Structure 1
Amino acid sequence: MINWNRSLHNAVVPQTSVCAPAGEINLAVLGKIFATDVDFTKQYYNHLRRPALGIAALLLVTLSACLPVPTREPTQAIPVPYRITQDENPYAPDIEDTGRQIAAVTVASVIVSEKYEFTPPRAAIVITGHMPSVCNELRIEISPPDDQFRVFIEAYSLIDPDIQCDDVFQQFEAEILLGTYSTGRFTIWVNDALAGDFVSY
């Protein structure tokens, strides 16, 4: 609390009558009294204002500490697709392929179907086309699915470089069961071209 400083007030305002002789008002004395009272009012207001601001800041800090901290929602992990079982592939790469030359094949058509006579149902693929000569041997390599549910299949041919062979096209038609897969929709790509899709349950 600010105490009224009587001595200061007396120093500013001399102990004289406010009224001048003959009933006239002493304006100089009234001005000093008014200035002193205004200065005291400002000091008193500032004195009361400081603790009020401190209390308000303390309340804000307390309320912010009581607010619940937001928790981050856990991200749902996307299951990684995989091949459960692999059916027999008569055109799979073999150890005896070492030393042979790789040759291209021309793929004419690709048919993707689902075989419901199996439990669980299986996807099957039929690839038709031709190879450069009758001496070429067909190879079809089926890769496991990637994280985008894509199954890449590579069709190519092999030939023994020591064998002389007439350049006569050799037609082929290959049907292969793709096996069983984890749950999801898979796309099939043959020689980097989209051939179709299937759903595994």
Structure 2
Amino acid sequence: MPALRTRVYIDGYNLYYGCLRKTAFKWLDVLSLFETQILPTILYRPTLNAEPATMPLHPDCAIKYFTAKIIESAAKGEDSVSSQAQYHNALTTHCGGRLSFVMGHYSLYKANQHIVPADDPKRWPRDCDKIQVWKLEEKQSDVNLALHLYDDALSSEVDQVVLVTNDTDLTPALEMLKALPGYRPRPGDPDAQGWRGRGP
């Protein structure tokens, strides 16, 4: 039975705002989620008559989690900073070194933004007044994720990458992975699970 060494790449910002933010379930055990729930349920045969492949997570670094520390002055909740730190510490302890955090950072700055007039919401931005607002942007996480994804694929450490995001900014990185020798399309979602690493 073939085994595909698998590593999961998580966009922490998208995971939180896409799935967890408005729920009571903030402390997601991402290692168990993939190791016991998601990967064992995927049926993939390398060839038509082959045995189904198993998908063991990489024994050393199974998950790379891309995120940034919350800025206290911009946090929405009084406990946001401490809650994030506690969750990260819990994951680090629970996963025993099999999860690696790759940190970006938040940028907080003032910017001029166009106001949408209540009496004319379809007015073009160029014809609207401006107001100064605070802007909070996560920096480097997307770039870090794309570079790690591509570099790991080239290294032959893994046979399969699983990307957890809905950020279309990562589409070029996925297209580059698909162009690598050894790419094999998978049924269902070729972008998320379509790369098979090159052998030694």
Which structure dedicates a bigger proportion of its chain to helix? 2
TM-score under structure 1 length normalisation:
0.20
Higher relative contact order (CA 8 A, sep 6+): 2
Which structure dedicates a bigger proportion of its chain to strand? 1
